[in-house]
Structure formats: C-alpha cells, structure tokens
C-alpha cells in the first residue's frame, strides 16, 4: 500500500474533478490518497508521501505558474519518488492531440521544466461558456472558432474521457509494483 499525494491546479474545477476520480480508483487498489490544491500544498510534508502526482489545467496556453514554481523548487524530491504528471486542456478533445507525445501544451511544458515525470497523461477538459466571465467567454470562443470547436455561448461540454482517467489511475496504482 502506497501513500500517494495528488497536487493539482484547476481553473474551472475540471482538473480537481479528475483528481477526485483518480483518488476513488486508486483507493480501490488499497492505496491511501491525499488530494490537495497547489494553493494548500505548503501545509503538507510532501516528502512523507511515497508517490507524487501533479495535475494542471491550461488557461490561455499555459499551466499555472504556481505548478511550475513548485516543480522547480522540488525537482530533487520529485525525482526521488515514483511520480506522474497530467495536463488538462480542451485541445485534447481532438484525437490527434490527446496523447502526451502529441499534445502541444504538454510538449511545450516539458521543454520548459527540468523535471522528467515518470508517467504522463493528457485529458480533455470541459467547455462551460455560461460559467465564464464575459472576457473569458469572448477569448475562449475566439480560440474555439480558430480551432474549429464549439462557439455557441450556451455550450457546456465535458470532453473528459473518464475511461482514460481510470486507466491512468491504474498506472499510478502500479507505480510501486
């Protein structure tokens, strides 16, 4: 049984939702899982965990600067343990951009940091126009128009492939095996 920490950064809640789904499936494999926001990770002794998983959403083409800072500050610790990273972004709704080796945001992120996660995943996020501010809705609609995605301002679509999330949970569960 491993004591697994999942740290996340979530803009609109989908990454957090994915983390809780991972937690549920990993705990079914008899591991202990703690899920914590990057905002609260300082309250934990990160070194006391057996495995560390980090998940981060994309907003306007970038992962959270807090996630980058955490990784840079803790690279030796991360490298010393079984670890994983996953990115959540709407571009991953397209099959040709839904894998770690084909997702432009994840590839760009990995070039920007020195850490080389042992396991990687990419999950499509959620598009929820009604919940966005006027500014965000306008910018995201423009991005969706450019990328041939949905632009109706009433659109709410969860693109997340939950089966893929469950498969990643299984991979995390087996990291110590």
Domain limits, the chain: 3-125+160-173, 127-159
- What is the tens place of the pLDDT at every residue in 123-177? 999 999 999 999 999 999 998 999 899 999 999 999 999 999 999 999 999 987 5
Q: Considering only residues 41 and 61, tell me which one the structure prediction assigns the higher pLDDT.
A: 41
- What is the tens place of the pLDDT at every residue in 79-133? 999 999 999 999 999 999 999 999 999 999 999 999 999 999 999 999 999 999 9
51 confidence band (pLDDT: 50, 70, 90) = very high
In the chain, % of residues over pLDDT 70: 99
Q: Which two tokens stand for residue 47?
A: 């070194």
| Average confidence score pLDDT of the chain | 95
Domain range 3-125+160-173, CATH architecture: 3-Layer(aba) Sandwich (3.40)
The pLDDT value recorded for residue 36 is 98
CA 71 to CA 168: how far, in whole Å? 21
The pLDDT value recorded for residue 20 is 98
The pLDDT value recorded for residue 147 is 87
pTM of the model: 0.94
The pLDDT value recorded for residue 177 is 52
């Amino acid at each position: 049984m491993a004591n697994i920490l999942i740290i996340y950064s979530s803009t609109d809640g989908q990454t957090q939702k994915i983390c809780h789904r991972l937690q549920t499936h990993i705990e079914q494999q008899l591991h202990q899982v703690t899920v914590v926001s990057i905002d609260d990770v300082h309250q934990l002794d990160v070194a006391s965990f057996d495995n560390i998983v980090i998940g981060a959403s994309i907003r306007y083409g970038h992962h959270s600067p807090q996630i980058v800072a955490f990784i840079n500050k803790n690279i030796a610790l991360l490298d010393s343990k079984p670890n994983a990273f996953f990115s959540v972004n709407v571009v991953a709704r397209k099959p040709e951009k839904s894998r770690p080796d084909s997702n432009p945001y994840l590839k760009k992120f990995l070039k920007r940091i020195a850490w080389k996660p042992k396991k990687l995943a990419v999950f499509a996020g959620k598009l929820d126009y009604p919940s966005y501010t006027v500014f965000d809705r306008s910018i995201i609609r423009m991005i969706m128009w450019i990328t041939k995605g949905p632009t109706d301002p009433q659109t709410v679509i969860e693109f997340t492939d939950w089966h893929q999330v469950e498969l990643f949970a299984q991979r995390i569960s087996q990291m110590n095996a």
